[in-house]
Amino acid sequence: MCSSECSRGTVPFNFLLLRRIKMSDALLSQAEIDALLCQLSEPEPAKPAFDEAIAVNATEIQPAKAVQGKTARKDHPNLERILDIPLNVMVSLGEIRKEVQDILALHPGTIVELERIANEPVDIFINGKLIARGEVVVVDERFGVRVTHIISPHERIKRLV
């Protein structure tokens, strides 16, 4: 993504300043968005940053370990605090845009064809955010979804642009 069209350093960007800005405070230009995406896809070596009153030491961030059962709870004791929070899980088979006259013509037996083809992965949303993709399965005469791909944070950021 960050080939010749993205030249690093063209748009100077202060990440410490970005942390203090609220979305309602300022809008990013397309050049600033492109610069952010370039920096995400081609990370520079970590180095200490300085912002007038705050000095931040650069540290290497380790990838998160898989959360599995009780061992993960021991590794992350604060996880217990949020385990009972309910989340809405929605699986989307597909969608299609219809005119009002087509919707009014719906009746029992009408087949609504979706844009997604058969055997294409379905989207899994958690609280309205696309988190994963999977394939539809049948478990004891009920539909289920086998997760085949988790959407990375980098992919989620790309979808915002």
Give me the CATH number covering residue 115. 2.30.330.10
Q: Is residue 72 one of the residues assigned to a domain?
A: no
- Asked if residue 36 and residue 96 are part of one domain, the reply reads no
**What is the number of domains present in the chain?**
2
- Asked if residue 51 and residue 8 are part of one domain, the reply reads yes
DSSP assignment of 65-82:
PP--HHHHHHH-GGGGGT
Q: What is the pLDDT of residue 88?
A: 94
Count CB atoms within 10 A of the CB of residue 124: 21
- Asked if residue 156 and residue 100 are part of one domain, the reply reads yes
- The residue to which tokens 């705050």 are assigned: 54
- Mind listing the pLDDT tens digit of every residue in the chain (161 residues)? 454 444 444 445 555 555 555 554 556 677 777 776 666 655 455 544 444 443 443 334 444 444 444 545 567 778 888 888 999 999 999 999 999 999 999 999 999 998 888 889 999 999 989 999 999 998 888 889 999 999 998 888 887 77
Q: Is residue 74 one of the residues assigned to a domain?
A: no
Q: Is residue 69 one of the residues assigned to a domain?
A: no
Q: What is the pLDDT of residue 155?
A: 86
Domain that holds residue 123: 86-160
Cα dihedral 129, 134, 138, 144 in deg (nearest 10): -20
Which two three-digit tokens encode residue 79? 């996880």
Q: What is the pLDDT of residue 135?
A: 92
pTM, rounded to two decimals: 0.49
Which two three-digit tokens encode residue 12? 């100077």
- Tell me the HSE value of 19 on the side-chain side, using a 13 A CA sphere: 6
- Asked if residue 19 and residue 53 are part of one domain, the reply reads yes
